[in-house]
Structure 1
Amino acid sequence: MKKAVVVLSGGLDSTTCMSVAKHEGYALYPITFRYGQRHQREVEQAGEIAAYYESADHRIVDLAFFKQLGSSALTDSSIDVPDTGADQGIPVTYVPGRNMIFLSLAAAYAEVIGADAIYTGVSSVDYSGYPDCRPEFIQSMNQTINRATKAGVRGHTLSIKTPLMHLTKGETIRLGSALDAPYQLTTSCYNGGEQACGVCDSCRLRIKGFKEAGQIDPIPYRIPIQWND
């Protein structure tokens, strides 16, 4: 069976990618990064999602260097997570180099296990303005990976797949729901509580998506959400 490495954060988008990869006939090899984020809930949920899909293997990689760097509200506790909606431009929740490093490590893993694809849940439609979620970044990274690996230069092309790149959050949720993605196991909140805060940028995008999809989010929120407004 063909193999795929899935960058699995424990969130809605990466879980949708897991459902797409499974539907497309891949054996699943998720990889999750512990990069000094504010909370461990997303790593814990990634483990539950990997178990749900009976993944062939689930690697958790420690990248403490991100916390040492700071400069992001997701890794530096001295920077507040904004709760006033999406920032203009690149927000303080941007983590420098995150997707570039994640995909590099995913490519190394993929080369070792002989995978054909890497799935990542980046989107250029409903997103927070991160530069490493754009199509031009993925295209460039795909070329770099195939030029920098033994597999690539020997003709075993590795493909970075981004099935959500041109989908709204609502379209993403409809896709995942059709493929029985376990959204009840996912977490998106930047603050990482058992109940999502409902006000951070990530929560706002998620809530907006479920409303657009005409569905009720199965995870609990700290604040009341009107799903039919």
Structure 2
Amino acid sequence: MTTQASTEKKAVILLSGGLDSATVVAMARAQGYSCYTMSFDYGQRHRAELQAAERVARDLGVIEHKVIGLNLNGIGGSALTDSSIDVPEAPSEGIPVTYVPARNTVFLSLALGWAEVLGARDIFIGVNAVDYSGYPDCRPEFVEAFETLANLATKAGVEGEGFRIQAPLQNLSKADIVQAGVKLGVDYSLTVSCYQADANGFACGKCDSCRLRAEGFAAAGISDPTRYF
């Protein structure tokens, strides 16, 4: 008899609690994956996203949701981890100060470790190269390079059971993402996108992330459930 463990198609999904990552969980679930989600308490100023991630994971029926503690605020260098750097409330030129040094590299590395333990071969990340803030670790080149690394640096990769880094939002506009998520039943009222959300998850309506989110809902012709302070 074939056991469930041997046939189950597992995926580890990075879940921040925001709009994009919630959509990715729904997409993976729709593709038949058993979803294991991972969030990070990394010293971010918008910690309300962690509660949002738990709500999304519960609502979308993931198998297990794991929160990993990190101390990225120990190195600082970003408005999201250093309280002495203000979150900009106007579009920035170049790479903005909300970029967290090496964040997606660190997050994917830990997701890769968990995937190897679980026997999952697919890792999903909600990076986007269309409507995004200009972060270098959201580009297709980064995703491709990390997949190469994943298959060089792991026992599973060396033994021929390769990993895939899936970024299904890579070439979608924010409006496309919202429309896809609504079709898949994502409850966006559970999500928090704001870079300086308060403890209750209320958004500022001024930061880059709030602006992109609002523009996406408007372009999609869908009511935005974001709560603002």
Match of 2:89 among 75, 83, 87: 83
Give, in whole Å, the separation in 1 of the partners of 2:164 and 2:100. Answer: 24
Q: Which residue of 2 aligns with 1:7?
A: 14
Structure 2 stretches lacking a partner, 5+ long: 1-7
Give, in whole Å, the separation in 1 of the partners of 2:100 and 2:70. Answer: 12
Residue type matched to 1:5 in 2?
V
User: How far apart are 1:183 and its partner, in Å?
Assistant: 0.7
Residue identity over aligned pairs, in percent, reads: 51
User: How far apart are 1:221 and its partner, in Å?
Assistant: 2.0
Match of 1:130 among 121, 132, 135: 135
Q: Which residue of 2 aligns with 1:180?
A: 185
For each residue in 1:167-193, what CA deviation from the matched residue of structure 2 results, as whole angstroms up to 9, or x when unmatched?
Answer: 010011111111011211000001112
Moved over 3 A (4+): none
2:46–2:194 Cα contact (<8 Å) kept: no
Q: Which residue of 2 aligns with 1:100?
A: 105
Q: Which residue of 2 aligns with 1:63?
A: 70
- SS of 1:110's partner is helix
User: How far apart are 1:196 and its partner, in Å?
Assistant: 1.1
Structure 1, 37-46 or 24-33: larger mean CA deviation: 37-46
Q: Which residue of 2 aligns with 1:165?
A: 170
Match of 2:51 among 27, 44, 65: 44
Give, in whole Å, the separation in 2 of the partners of 1:54 and 1:172. Answer: 20
User: How far apart are 1:39 and its partner, in Å?
Assistant: 2.9
User: How far apart are 1:116 and its partner, in Å?
Assistant: 1.8
User: How far apart are 1:57 and its partner, in Å?
Assistant: 0.9
User: How far apart are 1:120 and its partner, in Å?
Assistant: 0.4
Give, in whole Å, the separation in 2 of the partners of 1:166 and 1:70. Answer: 30
Match of 1:195 among 194, 202, 207: 202
Aligned residue pairs total 220
Structure 1 stretches lacking a partner, 5+ long: 223-229
Query: TM-score, with normalisation over the residues of structure 2?
Result: 0.94
Match of 2:152 among 133, 147, 154: 147
User: How far apart are 1:155 and its partner, in Å?
Assistant: 1.1
For each residue in 1:177-214, what CA deviation from the matched residue of structure 2 results, as whole angstroms up to 9, or x when unmatched?
Answer: 11011211000001112321111000000000001100
Give, in whole Å, the separation in 2 of the partners of 1:201 and 1:15. Answer: 19
